[in-house]
Homo-oligomer: A and B are copies of this chain.
């Protein structure tokens, strides 16, 4: 019985659907059609229905659409947001701080449990409600917090060793903002957000 039957692309859209559905619900719409969700998600009704099929949801009724709340519940159940996810962040530069602020007062379901840097001048304080430690305390703190997710916002040349350290300490999922791909074992999931690449891509494709 395995779970990786849901393609990554579909997972991405499910996260989006969940947010859009919450907006819908907040507007008082207790039901909706696939074409409405598609319009908000910038895709097609067929895509929406296919995605819901992927998670084994067939609770729509032909003329009435889907029940907003029920659909949200189902997606949450699939994405398994039962527990509050603990995150650790390494690299308290501009981007690291921005992410700390970003998550401090939004994003239910996620808490950044601790942040780390190798620069003493950035540690032993609290930024956006998050305690900042020196890297040497990493192993210790990660045991205390039991975090399973890591965010890397250090310069490229240190990213791999930070990832290695995280994995060593039991981190199972990493979001890497450094502009290089990192090597991780198969049992660790890693995703990269490369802002410069995104801009170069936009520059090229806008040309």
Residue ranges of A at the interface with B (Cβ–Cβ < 8 Å): 3-4, 8, 11-12, 15-16, 19-20, 40-42, 79-80, 85, 87, 93-95, 97-99, 101-102, 107, 109-110, 148-149, 151, 172-175, 179-183, 188-191, 193-207
Contact = CB atoms under 8 A, between A and B. Distances in A.
Given A19-B179, A95-B98, A201 B191 contact: yes
Given A181-B16, A193-B195, A206-B189, A201 B98 contact: no
Nearest to A192: B198
A93 B19 CA distance: 22
Contact of A102 (B8, B195, B201): B195
A91 to B, nearest CB: 11
Contacts of A182: 42
A43 B203 CA distance: 24
B183 A11 contact: no
